[in-house]
């Protein structure tokens, strides 16, 4: 009787464990399928010429994605320049002033912004920047991506700084260091790894965004370094090529997907390294 109860518990225990393992395994499976699919389809397209040459007109063989790679990096730089200062300072604000109505609204606004669909952000950037300036541009694309990065950076900064013990602030203040200097020279350096992680996650999030760029950065078949002109990016190029009727463009889209996935994957691994290496032990 007693043994039966124990055996039943052991069975329940084992089957629960089996379910947990099985479902975790199921959750990583799609990732491997996606990777496998993109690698097999894309890797044959990617070579040095592919990375360093401009796209060719329909009908001509070959051509590359150099302008999209350059454009992607330009947009990342523009959006980072917009969102990092605003995001980090907003994060500091939310962490340092937790009480009151204004911080509550800021937090609510951040959460709402995070939930706004990217296509809507694209429309807003179109109305605010593209219509005002009179043309599609890299700048407007960067602005829309910055709006998407902003909540990620704010939340990461706030959460990181919250974990920094008050004793560190006290140590600094007790040495006669002013409050702003304490924040800039003690609190932020102590939380640097977390803030950097937030920035990199933000970059990873926007690197693959297409929707907000459709009517802002717009895309272009040429190499363009002018941020006031339309600019091509990897996701835009994939979208345009994959929806085109030409099979050779579909192949190029697979190649571009492969490059994009490798970039985002590399960024995520780099983020892990940064988190581990720069982590400050209290």
Partner 1 sequence: MESAVLKIENFSAFFGENQVLREINLSIPQNRITAIIGPSGCGKTTLIRCINRMHELIPNVRVSGKISLDHEDIYDTDPIIVRRQIGMVFQKPNPFPMMSIYDNVIAGYQLNGIKLSKVEKDTIVEESLKRAALWNEVKTSLHRKGTFLSGGQQQRLCIARALAMRPTVLLLDEPTSALDPKATSHVEELIVQLKDTVTILLVTHNIGQAARVSDFTAFLYVGELIEFGPTERMFTAPKNKRTEEYLTGKFG
Residue 274 CB, nearest distance to partner 1 (Å)? 15
CB nearer partner 1, residue 113 or residue 168: 168
Token couple for 103: 């911080």
Range in contact with partner 1 (rule: CB under 8 A) among 120-128, 147-155, 178-186, 235-243: 178-186
Closest by alpha carbon to 156, among 231, 84, 52?
84
Residue 155 CB, nearest distance to partner 1 (Å)? 23
Binding of residue 100 to partner 1 (CB under 8 A): no
Interface residue with partner 1 among 8, 14, 17, 185 (CB under 8 A) is 185
Q: Which residues contact 237 (CB under 8 A, 6 or more apart)?
A: 55, 65, 68, 219, 252, 253, 256
Binding of residue 54 to partner 1 (CB under 8 A): no
CB nearer partner 1, residue 172 or residue 257: 172
Range in contact with partner 1 (rule: CB under 8 A) among 49-57, 74-82, 174-182, 230-238: 174-182
Backbone φ and ψ for 241, nearest 5 degrees, come out as: -75, -40
Interface residue with partner 1 among 52, 178, 226, 243 (CB under 8 A) is 178
CB nearer partner 1, residue 67 or residue 182: 182
CB nearer partner 1, residue 26 or residue 175: 175
Binding of residue 49 to partner 1 (CB under 8 A): no
Contact, 31 vs 16, CB < 8 A? no
Residue 231: strand, helix, or coil = strand
Where are the alpha helices (H) located in the chain, listed in sequence order? 2-42, 48-52, 66-96, 101-115, 118-125, 131-133, 138-162, 166-174, 179-182, 188-190, 192-207, 234-242, 247-277
């Amino acid at each position: 009787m007693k043994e039966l109860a124990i055996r039943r518990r052991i069975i329940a225990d084992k089957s629960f464990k089996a379910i947990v393992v099985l479902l975790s395994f199921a959750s990583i499976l799609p990732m491997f399928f996606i990777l496998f699919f993109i690698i097999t389809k894309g890797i044959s397209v990617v070579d040095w010429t592919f990375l360093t040459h401009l796209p060719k007109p329909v009908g001509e063989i070959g051509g590359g994605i150099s302008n999209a790679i350059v454009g992607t990096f330009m947009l990342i730089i523009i959006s980072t320049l917009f969102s990092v200062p605003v995001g980090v300072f907003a994060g500091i604000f939310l962490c340092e002033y937790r009480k009151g109505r204004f911080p509550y609204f800021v937090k609510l606004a951040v959460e709402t912004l995070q939930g706004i669909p990217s296509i809507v952000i694209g429309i807003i950037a179109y109305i605010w920047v593209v219509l005002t300036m009179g043309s599609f541009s890299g700048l407007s694309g960067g602005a829309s991506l910055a709006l998407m990065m902003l909540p990620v950076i704010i939340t990461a900064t706030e959460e990181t700084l919250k974990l920094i013990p008050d004793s560190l602030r006290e140590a600094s203040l007790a040495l006669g260091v002013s409050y702003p200097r304490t924040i800039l020279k003690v609190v932020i350096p102590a939380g640097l790894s977390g803030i950097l992680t937030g920035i990199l996650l933000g970059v990873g999030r926007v690197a693959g965004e297409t929707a907000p760029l459709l009517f802002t950065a717009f895309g272009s078949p040429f190499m363009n370094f002018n941020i006031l002109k339309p600019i091509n990016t990897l996701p835009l190029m994939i979208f345009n090529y994959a929806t085109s009727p030409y099979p050779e463009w579909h192949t190029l889209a697979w190649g571009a997907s492969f490059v994009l996935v490798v970039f985002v994957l590399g960024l995520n691994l780099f983020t892990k390294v940064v988190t581990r290496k720069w982590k400050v032990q209290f």
